[in-house]
Amino acid sequence: MQTHVLVAHPAFPPVQVRGMEARVIGHDANWLRLRWRIEGSAGLVVPAFAGKGRADELWKTTCFEAFLQPEGGSAYVELNLSPSERWAAYDFTAPREGMSERAMPREPDCTMRQGSSFAIFDAAIPAAGLPNAVCNLGLTAVIEEDGGVKSYWALAHGAEHPDFHDPACFKAQLAAPPGA
């Protein structure tokens, strides 16, 4: 699977984080598996373990996000995935419009591993809770470092301020799962 380099929004540079990559590591009829790798993670603020469950406002600290927009439409799905194991899923009818909670058949699985100079965040999202189509894909992250410094990472940024809902961020493509 292809590795995508994420870039920090220039208005919010990181302090110690030197780079980030995201990739789809698996996609079948059961799961969409995503991985983010953070280089320079010594000062990374990782939310405390909270156990599985839905939660809002995960983006206020270190959080990983995916946006899936079926090709040819304006509606999309937003997934927020936290190292705390909390998660959220929303439907939007258009950029930042018509937000509603998205039903999921089961909870995503999330794990965070930290090395001496890098961290890896893995997420497995139930495919039955996602669009069953070819999608434009946005892979993003909010990274908090010591001292409350936050940086906003995406495949691309299309605005003066960070906005992961901007279609300019949906630069990757995700094939429909096998058998779709």
Domains of the chain, residue spans: 3-174
Q: How far apart are CA 44 and CA 85, in angstroms?
A: 17
pTM here is 0.96
Q: Identify the segments of the chain with pLDDT beneath 50.
A: none
Q: Are 8 and 152 in contact (CB under 8 A)?
A: yes
8-55 pLDDT tens trace: 999 999 999 999 999 999 999 999 999 999 999 999 999 999 999 999
Domain 3-174 class in CATH: mainly beta
Q: How far apart are CA 125 and CA 139, in angstroms?
A: 14
> Which residue has tokens 């699985």?
109
